[in-house]
Structure 1
């Protein structure tokens, strides 16, 4: 049987694929260094394993595979960035304890209805040792914590920004519209030469012309985009109007679902955005709820069933007395609340998706909900209190602060990843 390793990790991180012994032997015989990354290396076997995993994911979506050379370049770039984050974690003293790893491995075994001994035997049959599995989980947990720390500390929202946002038309309409988006990014290094800028502009124009002629956006993202979400077809999920930086806010608002923007120059390069869906907000209601939650999302190596089981396991750990906030910091995949222990603060129920709003309405103050599913993934929530809607200036400022922080998170993540990539010594030997 196939065992999925990842159970607590951000959707951008892909785990190692399990290989049969014959395939594993073949890879080992061809193993060589394909990239030097600062003080570490990436091996051919790592690239082959990750590429095979991505190929399986693309095939499940029914999309056409890009040429092998293009796919390998995309996968290698992701491995390079992940490797840099692991090195940062090591230098920063981020350590995953044996106890945390043991809990993770026990949780995976339990979700597969196996004892640890049976789990180890199943891994051996799939060509991976128990220790290798522990190491893969450790790596992914380190990357998750590095991002939480480094990106979170870069986000600063000033009082003046809050005031400007509240006074803007965009701030006034932030509850009215929400967009599901995908993007294609043609990158530019910091301080790019005029020749490099012209080359990037030509490439993004070619991609734009292909899209206008009917090319599939997701396939084009896989083949051409340098964004972190390229291998997911460029999809970045739902964003409120208030989360979009200028000039994207105005451009996206003017699109109909299915339409794309013209190429846009951004600090990280040239970008094309596609509006996949649009939905309107609800009117303000009279009640407000203080709630915190843990969000777990399915991803390339964690199935829907495994995601649900992880949410159930976290629910059981909270019921058994473990700290909700600590589990949210370590496991939640909601970037806007994870660092705050999952706390969404006082929130207007009308701004939430129906599934979350309905469960929250049925949960009494001080109680924990059982795991439930929304369009974002699987949640466990706890209602901390209820009160009448607060229309005070302080409440409006807090809403603006949350919107601005969420808007900046994606920008800061991409900028930080591009920065560590540009500053690193990387020698590709592929």
Structure 2
């Protein structure tokens, strides 16, 4: 999970925790079942808590509220999807241990200029909200992120041919810019019938009618959208246009800020996009320093301790300094795969080696031989042969293009994965029975 997303989730959960007790005390609802998701239930009190938090979030954003019934249905839909994902995670043994959770909480605290005790006080804040509840909410968010990474993101493949085609496209040639958009997704069931598509189209036509009348797009997203960000007004914050889902990127490339797209259809449903704003980004030329190095690696064993290996390398270094060829010593002593090449590692870029090796290598002058250096692989003698500065702007551009295409594919695949997850589950919504 990205740090920014984790912080946004933490803020939302903190707000939920602070508002829920007051609401419960004031209303004291009789608990009823509002939905059954496989073998688990969602209660009326659970839903009220989340609706209260969603209402506060929308007000804080300045978004006009949907009707009470519409907001309740939208929030319940989000809760169903969360529960389905957590069930899938439990069934497939996706877990987050306490140490990982503690690191995440520490990050949240530090980025809010707090320590853990201060964060706990802010969460509980005289409202009687258990710290354990907040911890488990954060744990669940990390679990959902790991589940998506395993089941969706890690399975997305971007080929070199796709990167080449993208870099040659007008989209890439137009120069770098970031865009901010809002979107509404009306999700279609898996294998939707013509009648289901017609009903969905009718719903989209109603949304478009309200847009033409001047209704707030964020309110309409909160009212109608099936996307996970509906309660945030459907906003997709600043990102390069190439990182948008393809159907959005193609639409936005033909639009101006403030415009709203026609209804668009994809494999997962119908989409409406509002182009909020754009800004230019400047591509910086990027250069790195590469080092041409070679080394001799000797590992410890039952017969050779760290001290033994270190003394052996000290002796080898003395011979090399006195004129014996480094490459010859590597060929006859090194246990690394580069031994046959005289220990030659070729040109090494920052991050190519483990930190211990890189620090020692960077501290050497050209031609200098290091003292014995320990790394997770064993003990090394390192010699720097030459250094050079290399322009890697094109490499960086290719890497960014690959990342953008991966993000685009992953977002589309995730929506399809969510739809399949729900279509394969038993979901019984009982909201109308409770009215």
- TM-score range normalised by the length of the shorter chain: 0.5 to 0.7
1:276-333 Cα offsets, whole Å, 9 max, x none, are 0122343x5543469xxxxxxxxxxxxxxxxxxxxxxxxxxxxxxxxxxxxxxxxxxx
Which of 383, 388, 391 is the matching residue for 1:389?
391
Deviates more, 1:237-246 or 1:117-126: 117-126
Report if aligned partners of 2:37, 2:426 keep a CA contact under 8 Å in 1: yes
Deviates more, 1:75-84 or 1:130-139: 130-139
TM-score scaled to structure 1, two decimals?
Answer: 0.67
- In structure 2, stretches of 5+ residues that fail to align are 290-348, 351-361, 363-387
Separation in 2 of the partners of 1:210 and 1:287?
48
Q: How does 1:320-359 map to 2 (within 5 A)?
A: none
User: 1:222–1:233: 8 Å Cα contact kept in structure 2?
Assistant: yes
Aligned 8 A contact 1:36 1:426 in 2 = yes
User: Partners in 1 of 2:107 and 2:7 — Cα distance?
Assistant: 17
1:277 correspondence with 2:282: no
Q: Give the equivalent residue in structure 1 for 2:148.
A: 147
Cα deviation digits, residues 158-185 of structure 1 (max 9, x gap): 2332232233222333x33332111111
- Paired with 1:19 and 1:255, the residues of 2 have a C-alpha distance of 40
Instruction: Count the aligned residue pairs.
Output: 330
Which one has the largest radius of gyration?
Answer: 2
Q: Aligned-pair distance for 1:208? A: 1.0
Does structure 2 retain, via aligned residues, the 8 Å contact 1:124–1:130?
no
**What secondary structure sits across from 1:277 in the alignment?**
strand
> 2:287·2:393 contact (CA, 8 Å) conserved in 1?
no
Q: What is the root-mean-square deviation of aligned Cα atoms in Å?
A: 3.3
CA distance in 2, matches of 1:83, 1:207: 28
Specify the alignment match of 2:165 in structure 1. 164
Query: Partner of 2:48 in structure 1?
Result: 48
What is the distance in 2 between the residues matched to 1:416 and 1:150?
Answer: 8
Partner Cα separation in structure 2 for residue 112 and residue 164 of structure 1? 45
User: Residue 287 of structure 1 aligns with which residue?
Assistant: 286
Distance change in 2, residues 1:10/1:185 (3 Å) = farther
Q: Structure 1 stretches of 5 or more lacking a match?
A: 1-5, 291-344, 347-365, 367-385
SS in 2 for 1:156: coil
Residue 119 of structure 1 deviates from its aligned partner by 3.9
Residue aligning to 2:78? 78
Asked whether 1:258 is paired with 2:258, we answer: yes
CA 1:166–1:26 in structure 2 vs 1: closer, same or farther (change >3 Å)? same
Partner residue in 1 for 2:176:
176
The superposition leaves residues 115-166 of structure 1 with CA deviations (integer Å, 9 ceiling, x where unpaired) of 7599479738313223333322322222222223222123111233223223
Q: Is the 8 A contact 1:263 1:270 kept in 2?
A: yes
